[in-house]
A and B are shown apart, each in its own frame.
Chain A
Amino acid sequence: MPVRAITDTYVFPSSSRQELYGDDQLVHVLWRGNMTLCAAACFRAPKAMTWSAFLTEMVEPWAGSDPDYVPGSARDWVLDGRPFTPEPDRTLAELGVGHKSLIEFWV
């Protein structure tokens, strides 16, 4: 259902569109089965960042907010609803991680 507006055309760009982040994009990471961290985290990550860099520089420091997190224990990765196997040396873009993709894991 379109907006009913006072003008004939009501078209505005998204305030969160990918181009506003240059070579980076927003990536959401959710630790499933853990109620301590209240929500998924949102990161700004370069598309060319490798999975291993993304994991050690962004995901693990955040997961470590919970003192029960053991580095390296994340498993059963899911990308945008589909199980996936991250390869450490491939970039986020190569792995199919897009702007505002949701990555989930269990420990």
Chain B
Amino acid sequence: MAKKLPLKQRYAALTRDVHWEPSYVDPEKVFPYTSFEGIKIHDWSKWEDPFRLTVDAYHKYQAEKDKRLYAVLDGFAQSQGHLTLSDARYLNAMKLFIQGVTPLEYAAHRHFAFLARYLNGAGPRFAALCQSIDELRHTQTEIHTLSIYNKYYPGFHNWNRMHDRVWYLSVPKSFFDDAISAGPFEFLIAISFSFEYLLTNLLFVPFMSGASFNGDLPSMTFGFSAQSDESRHMTLGLEAIKFLLEQDEGNVPIIQDWIDKWFWRGYRVAALVAAMTDYMLPKKFMSWKEAFELYFEEQMLGGLFPDLAFYGIKPPRHVEHAIGEKDILSHQVYWVLYQFSFAASFTTTVPEPYELDWLSSQYPDTFDRFYRPLWDKARKIQENGGRFFFKGLPQLCQTCQIPMAFTEPGDPTTICQRHTVYNGERFDFCSDGCQWVFEREPEKYVQAWMPVHQIYQGNCGGPSVPEVLAWYGIQEGDNGEYLGSVEHTNWQRWHATAPVGS
């Protein structure tokens, strides 16, 4: 009977001891992707895995977490828990989540599996393997969690197809496609560091706290279930960047350049979260501005970057533009979503008076001056029997693919227009940041699948709006105005005080 090894030795036996140096085959052929980016690694064994998880322990933990989550999901479904949400409007936030975030979890699962095969060191390979399995579990648990609402509410049914086709979902999709089509080290800086560490709280806390404040017990429980994985992912991000910086001084400028690029790319994706945080949660818990100040300015610019300065790393390029937008970002983006929601798989509506007042209190310098008048105008149009929509298609930014609604730094009334001519063709950008990202790698971004341009080329089901919506998989009731919508009417009926059966 073999004696059980102590934990540390067991971990070494199950991870490092299954590694060998190839001798029959050229290591370059076994690991063909880790040299072309210019990153130099001298000693892969210096990669420390702070969690020292083994496969059997990993599965035991995850199985326990899943048991708890699925017990909550069953109870919520059996007790008609959806009727205890703050309001049916809240679910628009979760539609955005399943359409925009869940497919990214799956993409992360695929690419971490790739890294688990192609990184040279046993430590990072095993960390990537665990994260790959995590991301697949997140994909599955999110689908299961939100399927509860799919039974009763529109907009949840076609998220996977929509992610590949719909205009606003090309924003998160193109972000991840950009990372997956980069080299393995750039992917680690893009996803493990910038996305999972630098911006993660900004991206996930609003959804999960929003769930908790708005009675969405399943999503909140999913959030807790994912949290311990996320802390491992954050640690991987930090471990990755420190390892790369410590291995060779020549890596520093390459890493800085990637931080600059991926901060801006990630921040632009977060614009959708900003709109969701301030406008899509009937019960407010924190404004985008407050979240940005706490999770980004204080924790990252104030805490992380001073630590990274030791390696010669500076705060991301264009960060001053992001800080300058914190009072206006969410308002601009939700105004976009409001006027284009005829082509979205969620509904929008003029914020209630209490919400407008809350926005005024959170944004004293900008809301009443620039944005409340727009909502007053939209309400007036509605009172006269209309609904304000943008009757046409918008100009899109070639890099972030968001409609070009962002404004000149320091002037919220003037739309920012930047363009670059490359190979005789003009390309448009919403900001200095997006223009800079394009000009680093124009050969890459000219290939972007721009939803508006593709519609005009006839590649999206046909030339008319109904044909495009059908191709998107959007059905009657998924889109447009919330007031009078299927979900609004049902919600009122389900909460009417009339006796059952009357």
Q: Which residues of A contact B (CB under 8 A)?
A: 1-6, 10-18, 20-21, 26, 28, 30, 32-33, 35-44, 61-62, 64-67, 98-102
Contact = CB atoms under 8 A, between A and B. Distances in A.
A41 B404 CA distance: 9
A74 to B, nearest CB: 15
A12 B443 contact: yes
Contacts of A20: 457
Contacts of A28: 395, 428
Given A38-B336, A38-B403, A6 B183 contact: yes
B390 A10 contact: no
A100 B450 contact: no
A31 to B, nearest CB: 9
A5 B35 CA distance: 11
What is the predominant secondary structure among interface residues of chain A facing chain B?
loop
A6 B366 CA distance: 47
Contacts of B452: 42
Contacts of B428: 28, 100, 102
The bracket for how many chain B residues form the interface is 35 or more
Interface string B319-342: 000000000000010011001000
A42 B398 CA distance: 13
A22 B109 CA distance: 41
Contact of A35 (B370, B386, B390, B395): B370
B392 A43 contact: yes
B425 A17 contact: yes
A17 B450 CA distance: 11
A101 B336 CA distance: 22
Nearest to B335: A38
A16 B500 CA distance: 57
Given A4-B36, A4-B37, A14-B423, 10 more contacts: A4-B183, A26-B456, A30-B415, A32-B415, A35-B413, A38-B332, A39-B390, A62-B391, A100-B428, A102-B395
A94 B419 CA distance: 23
A1 B393 contact: no
A11 B447 CA distance: 10
Contacts of B370: 35
B446 A65 contact: no
24 contacts: A3-B444, A12-B446, A14-B423, A14-B447, A15-B447, A15-B449, A15-B454, A16-B425, A18-B425, A30-B395, A30-B415, A30-B417, A32-B414, A32-B415, A38-B390, A39-B394, A39-B395, A39-B404, A42-B394, A62-B391, A64-B391, A65-B392, A100-B426, A100-B428
